[in-house]
Amino acid sequence: MAELVSSLKHPLSFRGGWFWLSFLVLFISWGAAYTQQTALSLTILSVAVMASVARTARDQEVLKATELSLAAERKPTEPPTQVPERMQRINRSLSELLTECEVNIDRVKSTQDDAVETLSCAFASLRSLVEEQNTLTYALLKSDAESDEVYAVQLQQFVEETDQTLMSFIDTSEQISQSTQSLMTQVNTICEAMPTVQKALSDIDAISSQTNLLALNAAIEAARAGEAGRGFAVVADEVRKLSTRSTEFSGVITQQMTMIGDLIVSLEKEARFVADMDVSNVICKKDHIREQLLSIAEKARNDMSVTEQLESLNGQFAATIGDAIRGMQFGDINGQNLTHTGGIISMVRDQLETHDMAHIEAQIEDYQGQLVARGQLDHNPVSASSMDAGDVELF
Amino acid sequence: MSKNILVVDDSVSIRQMVEATLKAAQFNVTLAEDGQDALDKCSRGQFDFVLTDQNMPRMDGLSLIKALRGKAQFSKTPIVVLTTESSDDMKQKGKAAGATGWMVKPFSPDVLLNVLKRVLG
């Protein structure tokens, strides 16, 4: 049929018999013209032209009828009542798709709102934790709760003061030791000399006593000798005086020695007093040092408590940063959702630009079929509407 | 010795956050941007654990798992899917393909580390 149409479209085509008939008529008219049969040739030509025109018109009508016939074969005649039904089906499908778009966009907004809130809380918490950490760190560095002085500076001052005190203590101790040694040596020397002196005095007393006795005997013998012993009596008398004076001197010396002994005792007391005075000074310093050490121990206990609090903060830091990481994933989740929703909208827009309703319905059915084939039963790879952590399942 | 983890996801931000989480726990991390990239990296090295997304260009997660299970050196390697998909149908497909587990995004860092600890021991 198509071939017939093609040949009819070209009445002068070489395939048609009508072409050869036309050629024969022209030949005859040419022959008539050649034989100078003008009227005959003109008549034949006129008839040929009129026949050609008529035939062409008839061919055009046949061609038009054939094309209409072909069109009718391609588009089966649809009863007018089915057009609104198709429109309704298309509208329903488009409505379902747009409803899904609406739901997806709601999920995106919900997810985004939740993500922003999660991130805001996480960062606020981080800021608070950092401030608390700074406070605790400063407390570790401070010397005590009331002072702003850095503890390390106070500790350094304490160390230097302690060092100077100890050096002073050592020097003083050495001096005391040396002085005491020297003192005691001298005292011992004196004490060692005392018995010798006392013995000498004792000997002197003995000699004086004997001398006095001899002088008395001499005086007696002198008296017995009469006038001849008068000189001897004088001598004896002088000797007795010397003996008496010797005894007196011995007494004076003994008194002096006693006084010296008292002085030595006093000296010992003084030395002991000096020694006691230095020791008490050192004890005072030692007490001060002990107080400082107790303060250091107290500070160490406080530092341990602060360190425990800092360790607790580390755990809170980790949890807060975990919340921030979870919140940041909204970009990937919402991106997939928007890509999927955008695909639906693009498909709907493309169909709205097409006026062939059968084609629209077929495309929509095909699109929905593809989604089912991909396993996306709810048409969307994303189901999350918040930033709560997703489920975990180990097979 | 530190374990080697292969992380497969087409999202830059997800790769960054998973890497930060795993490196903080002393894991060695290798990144891949889709299934094909992951396969290339697996042909050049061995991994103790694979964490993969599902919806990726060139090759998706399930196709990657099937390809890895066909290789002798990866037949027993733990492979967990980290994805937005939460349907039971997809989970069953993952299990059938050879996945070890299924995690739905968003992930929590401590939960992810707990999964690694349970699977790797």
Query: Domain coordinates of chain B in residue numbers?
Result: 4-120
d(CA A132, CA A315): 13
Complex ipTM: 0.87
The nearest alpha carbon in chain A to B113 belongs to A322
Is residue A175 predicted with pLDDT exceeding 60? yes
The nearest alpha carbon in chain A to B84 belongs to A382
d(CA A192, CA A140): 65
Nearest to A333 among B94, B105, B109 (CB): B105
Contact (CB<8Å) B86/A390: yes
Out of A21-25, A157-161, A196-200, the most confident range is A196-200
- Residue A69: half-sphere exposure toward Cβ, Cα within 13 Å: 9
How many Cβ atoms are within 10 Å of A176's Cβ, its own excluded?
Answer: 17
What residues contact A11, with CB distance under 8 A and at least 6 apart?
Answer: A18, A19, A52, A55, A56, A59
The nearest alpha carbon in chain A to B24 belongs to A318
Contact A107, A387 (CB under 8 A): no
* Long-range contacts formed by A150-158: CB under 8 A, 24+ apart: A151/A299, A155/A296, A158/A292
Contact (CB<8Å) B87/A378: yes
Please give the full DSSP string across A5-45, using - where no structure is assigned. Answer: HHHHH-TT-TT-HHHHHHHHHHHHHHHHHHTT-HHHHHHHH
Which amino acid type is present at position A15?
Answer: R
Nearest to A377 among B20, B89, B101 (CB): B89
Nearest to B55 among A319, A321, A336 (CB): A336
CA angle A111/A116/A120 to nearest 5° reads 150
Show residues of chain B in contact with A333, CB under 8 Å: 84, 105-106
| 3-state secondary structure (DSSP) of residue A254 | helix
CA angle A377/A378/A379 to nearest 5° reads 90
Is residue A280 predicted with pLDDT exceeding 80? no
Q: How far is CA A182 from CA A65, A175, A176, A186, B17, in A?
A: 154, 10, 10, 6, 83
Contact (CB<8Å) A375/B90: yes
For residue range B22-31, what is the model confidence (pLDDT) as tens digits?
Answer: 998 999 999 9
Which amino acid type is present at position B82?
Answer: L
Q: How many residues does chain A have?
A: 395
Name the residue with higher pLDDT: A44 or B79: B79
What does residue B72 show for φ and ψ, rounded to 5 degrees? Answer: -60, -40
Touching A: B residues 23-52, CB under 8 Å = none
pTM: 0.56
Alpha carbon of A393: minimum distance to chain B alpha carbons (Å): 5
CB pairs A-B closer than 8 Å: 100
Contact (CB<8Å) A326/B11: no
For residue range A289-348, what is the model confidence (pLDDT) as tens digits?
Answer: 778 777 877 787 787 788 888 888 888 888 898 999 899 898 899 988 898 888 888 888
At which residue do the structure tokens 């395939």 appear?
A15
Q: Which of A108, A323, A395 to mutate to test the interface with B (most CBs of B within 10 A)?
A: A395
Show residues of chain B in contact with A315, CB under 8 Å: none
Show residues of chain B in contact with A393, CB under 8 Å: 91, 101-103
Between helix B12-24 and helix A330-352 the angle, nearest 10°, is: 160
Q: Out of A79-93, A115-129, B59-73, which region has the weakest mean confidence (pLDDT)?
A: A79-93
Q: Which of B8, B49, B84, B87 to mutate to test the interface with A (most CBs of A within 10 A)?
A: B84
Contact B48, B3 (CB under 8 A): yes
Fold of the domain spanning B4-120: Rossmann fold (3.40.50)
Contact B97, A375 (CB under 8 A): no
Specify the pLDDT at position A66: 60
The nearest alpha carbon in chain B to A392 belongs to B103
Q: Does B95 reach chain A within 8 Å, measured CB to CB?
A: yes
Contact (CB<8Å) B91/A393: yes
Q: Does B113 reach chain A within 8 Å, measured CB to CB?
A: no
The nearest alpha carbon in chain B to A335 belongs to B11
For residue range A46-103, what is the model confidence (pLDDT) as tens digits?
Answer: 666 666 666 666 766 666 656 555 555 555 545 555 667 888 888 888 888 888 888 8
**Residue (of B77, B6, B13) closest to B44 by Cα position:** B6
| 3-state secondary structure (DSSP) of residue B2 | coil
**Structure tokens, A375:** 């396993």
Specify the pLDDT at position A276: 59
Name the residue with higher pLDDT: B24 or A10: B24
DSSP state, B72? G
C-alpha B53: how far from its chain's center? 7
Name the residue with higher pLDDT: A64 or B108: B108
DSSP state, A150? B
